[in-house]
């Protein structure tokens, strides 16, 4: 069954209902600024949904809420139909295994004192999988490294992050996410620290993993050319609200909301032909 068919079927893998989130304003504990305002969206299995919007519009906050790194003021987050706040802590932990995150900065997100093998195996330890079987963990690490084309794995498993290139580090971060066989990956600007050709490589790798394993992605980016290349659908976030959503081609080629049009115009200044067969950086900041 093709990914297109998979993604259009059944209940969403992730559903957000009326999510609100506010933070204390700097130095004014009684004053709150509302960062997310009634956000509603969904992602189907094996679907790639891009989240675009200017700086400070709330994209990373939304990712952090989904991953349970922050808590929403109100609203619900449903993973495979189950509200993450209505299950026991144990069930939530079990569900979290199937949603993983890849961060923007591979220099920051990988523990510097650990080897690649230890970094990639860490989620197994956290989730108590093959806890007492180092050999099995090693096999799974090798498989995960092969998935992200870090081969032969013997070249990489004993290295430390500072001994890897930026592109290799981001592949290690992806292998770490993949080792638990996730159904959803939240990728928060995973390509922004990489140069243009490495960005394309990483996106094409994530696409292949989607085809192979039916992984859904929420892909947060400022790079509209990559969003065009990778995403099935786009959500446009402006000042904490989703102001437009639709098929990626349609949103990029025929934006309807004035904010989306402004984003596209800003992006066009960097790249006159958005449908170029060789996309280069197109920044929505
Ligand atoms: N822990 C926090 N405490 C207070 N304010 C916060 C906190 N986290 C985020 N914010 C504020 O929430 C707003 C949205 O931040 P967020 O990081 O979600 O934006 P973003 O769209 O991901 O931006 P960028 O594209 O620049 O990464 C910003 O104004 C930010 O200052």
pLDDT of 266 above 60: yes
Q: Measure the CA dihedral 216/221/226/228, to 10°.
A: 70
Whole-number Å distance, alpha carbon 60 to ligand 1 midpoint, is 7
**Residue 278: what pLDDT?**
42
Quote the tokens at residue 153. 């794995």
Report pLDDT digits (tens) over 119-173.
Answer: 999 999 999 999 889 999 999 999 999 999 998 989 999 999 999 998 999 999 9
Residue 140, SS3?
helix
Mean pLDDT of 14-32: 84
Q: Which atom of ligand 1 is nearest to the CA of 222?
A: 25
Stronger pLDDT, 72 or 275, i.e. the higher one: 72
**Which of 60, 103, 219 to probe ligand 1 with, by most ligand atoms within 8 A of CB?**
60
Is the CB of 44 inside a 6 Å radius of any atom of ligand 1?
A: no
* Among the four given CATH numbers 3.40.50.620, 1.10.3720.10, 3.40.718.10, 3.40.50.300, the one describing domain 1-98+183-285: 3.40.50.300
3-state helix, strand, coil in the chain (%, to 5): 40, 25, 35
How far apart (Å, rounded) are the C-alpha atoms in residues 137 and 73?
39
Residue with tokens 């449903």: 78
Residue 100, SS3?
strand
Atom 17 (ligand 1): residue with closest C-alpha? 60
Residues in contact with 181: Cβ distance below 8 Å, sequence separation at least 6, in sequence order: 98, 213
Domain boundaries, the chain: 1-98+183-285, 111-181
Q: Which atom of ligand 1 is nearest to the CA of 61?
A: 18
Report pLDDT digits (tens) over 33-57.
Answer: 999 999 999 999 999 999 999 999 9
Mean pLDDT of 10-25: 93
**Residue 282: what pLDDT?**
46
Atom 18 (ligand 1): residue with closest C-alpha? 58
**Which of 56, 190, 236 to probe ligand 1 with, by most ligand atoms within 8 A of CB?**
56
Is the CB of 56 inside a 6 Å radius of any atom of ligand 1?
A: yes
Whole-number Å distance, alpha carbon 269 to ligand 1 midpoint, is 26
């Amino acid at each position: 069954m093709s990914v297109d068919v998979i993604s259009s079927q059944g209940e969403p893998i992730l559903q957000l209902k009326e999510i609100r989130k506010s933070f204390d304003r700097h130095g004014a504990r009684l004053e709150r600024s509302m960062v997310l305002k009634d956000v509603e969206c969904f992602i189907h299995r094996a679907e790639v949904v891009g989240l675009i919007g200017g700086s400070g519009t709330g994209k990373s906050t939304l990712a952090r809420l989904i991953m349970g790194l922050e808590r929403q003021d109100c609203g619900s987050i449903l993973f495979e139909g189950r509200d993450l706040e209505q299950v026991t802590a144990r069930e939530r932990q079990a569900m979290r295994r199937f949603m993983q995150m890849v961060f923007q900065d591979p220099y920051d997100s990988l523990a510097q004192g650990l080897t690649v093998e230890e970094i990639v195996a860490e989620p197994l330890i956290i989730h108590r999988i093959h806890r007492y079987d180092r050999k099995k963990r090693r096999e799974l690490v090798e498989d995960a490294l092969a998935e992200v084309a870090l081969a032969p794995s013997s070249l990489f498993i004993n290295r430390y992050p500072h001994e890897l290139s930026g592109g290799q580090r981001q592949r290690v971060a992806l292998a770490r996410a993949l080792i638990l066989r996730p159904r959803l990956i939240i990728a928060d600007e995973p390509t922004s620290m990489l140069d243009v050709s490495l960005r394309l490589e990483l996106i094409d790798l994530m696409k292949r993993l989607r085809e192979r394993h039916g992984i859904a992605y929420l892909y947060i980016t400022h790079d509209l050319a990559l969003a065009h290349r990778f995403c099935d659908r786009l959500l446009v976030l402006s000042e904490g609200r989703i102001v437009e959503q639709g098929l990626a081609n349609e949103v990029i080629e025929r934006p309807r909301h004035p904010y989306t049009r402004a984003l596209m115009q800003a992006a066009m200044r960097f790249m006159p032909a958005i449908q170029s067969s060789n996309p280069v950086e197109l920044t929505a900041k």
